Amino acid sequence: MNLVQKWTKKAVFTHNVLTIYHTDNLMQYKLLLVDDDENILAGYKRHLRKDFEVHTAVSGKKGLELLSKKGPFHVAVSDLRMPDMDGFEFLSQVNKANPMTICIMLTGFAELQASLKAFNEGYIFRFLTKPCKINILEQTINQGIEKYLEKKEAQEKSSSAEKKDNLKRILIIDDDEEELSLISSALNHKNGIETITAENTNIALNLLKVLKINLILINSSTAKSDNSSFLKKIKTAYPDINIAVTTWYESESLKNQLYPLGIERYFEKPMNLDNLAEIITEEFYSGPKGIIDGISISTFLQMIEMEEKTCTLKITQDNKNGTMYFKKGSLIDASFRQKKGKEAAYAIINWERAEIEIENFCNKNENLINTSLMSILMEAAKIKDHGEENDSSIN
């Protein structure tokens, strides 16, 4: 084996045993040495600085200061017996600050039992008796770096697995290949979101058998042509999957068809893809929706305006259901039965003892209401007063 290959191998002889280490640019590894004997530190540093970025401190306190300014370190080596702060306490603090750091203790033979206790507690990788020969220390540091790399690899695998578990998958169903490609590209740029596409419901059903899906985004024409049987199957077999519909026109007939299936989410075409991506990302990561009651609708709407919130309010009173859409605190649309825009807002605002459900997104692109919220509230109050006057005159 060629031991002089540049940056690939390092050979260390200890007790007539040849140990080979991979040293891919060892200078990238940071070493912290702590000992109250400055001469020992100077000797170690002279030998080790050829291969490592070496930092030294003459006390545990100084070591912690270096840790704060220059850390984290790949390996920390500390003497046990030091004034003010001993090696146990120092390396314990190092371990708390960064559990990835490999800790090595230098100790006298009489302190071996205490060192074993620290080793058994898990934060000491190796203990070495003093005086420690430089080749043994270097060998142990290299072993520590190998251990560090093992821990790092395990951590990255764990992190990768966790990210995979947390990945949100969106199944997009549309018979328009260009539309599929555009939507998929827009959403795939968002961290933590993966898009799967299907040109028809048969392909989608097969995908659902092998993949965990969090959201289905389906074209309304596909939903209609399938006579809702696909959506019924999904709601029965996968009740936890959210479903949203893309449509050129949010008609009452479409609502009446999909509402019994619990589908109330619509995205109107042509869609602003950046806005769509933002809405879906907020849906996944902004937390659960909230429900509020016991507060007047007009008061709550003013709170939304002051906080400049973007949201959708689903408002219920007895058997009536209305929706109001806000973008950055501005009321841009409302719907109630056949009514849209301001007419729907006037009706909803005057409901009493209503329940308000908040969803942290707004899927409306067009502003059908271009009047200030205060003007809407004042007009709604006039309508209510006029209605009460008519009621009293009839009585």
Q: What are phi and psi of 345, to 5 degrees?
A: -60, -45
Q: How far apart are CA 366 and CA 353, in angstroms?
A: 30
CA dist 60 → 78, 85, 118, 170 (Å): 8, 5, 17, 52
* Banded model confidence at residue 79, pLDDT cuts 50, 70, 90: very high
Strands 290-292, 17-22: parallel, antiparallel or unpaired by DSSP?
unpaired
The proportion of the chain whose per-residue pLDDT surpasses 90, expressed as a percent, equals: 25
CATH class of the 167-285 domain in this structure: alpha beta
Q: What pLDDT, on a 0 to 100 scale, did the predictor assign at position 290?
A: 53
Q: Is 79 helix (H, G, I), strand (E, B) or coil?
A: strand
Tens digit of each residue's pLDDT (9 = 90 or more) over 153-172? 877 776 555 555 566 788 88
Q: What pLDDT, on a 0 to 100 scale, did the predictor assign at position 2?
A: 31
Q: What pLDDT, on a 0 to 100 scale, did the predictor assign at position 231?
A: 80
Mean pLDDT over 62-68 rounds to 92
Give me the amino acid identity at 158. Answer: S
Report the chain's mean pLDDT, rounded to a whole number: 78
Tens digit of each residue's pLDDT (9 = 90 or more) over 167-187? 678 888 888 878 778 888 777
Please give the residue that has the higher pLDDT: either 370 or 24. 370
Q: Taking the domains of the chain in order of start, what are their residue ranges?
A: 9-163, 167-285, 288-395
Among 24-38, 69-83, 255-269, 356-370, the minimum mean pLDDT is found in: 255-269
Q: Is 191 helix (H, G, I), strand (E, B) or coil?
A: coil
Q: How far apart are CA 111 and CA 278, in angstroms?
A: 61
Contact in structure between 214 and 246 (CB atoms under 8 Å): no
* Banded model confidence at residue 344, pLDDT cuts 50, 70, 90: very high
Using alpha carbons, select from 337, 293, 342, 290 the residue that is nearest to residue 312: 290
Strands 265-268, 242-247: parallel, antiparallel or unpaired by DSSP?
parallel
Q: What pLDDT, on a 0 to 100 scale, did the predictor assign at position 1?
A: 30
- Tell me which range, 33-37, 81-85, 197-201, is most confidently predicted by mean pLDDT: 33-37
Please give the residue that has the higher pLDDT: either 120 or 218. 218
CATH topology of domain 9-163: Rossmann fold (3.40.50)
CA dist 55 → 34, 70, 81, 203, 244 (Å): 9, 9, 19, 60, 57
Contact in structure between 316 and 355 (CB atoms under 8 Å): yes
Q: Is 197 helix (H, G, I), strand (E, B) or coil?
A: strand
- 116 has pLDDT over 90: no
Using alpha carbons, select from 336, 369, 172 the residue that is nearest to residue 267: 172
- The DSSP letter of residue 28 is G
* Identical fold between 9-163 and 167-285: yes
Mean pLDDT over 328-353 rounds to 92
Q: To the nearest 10°, report the CA torsion of 247, 252, 258, 263.
A: 70
Rounded to two decimals, the pTM is 0.42
- 141 has pLDDT over 90: yes
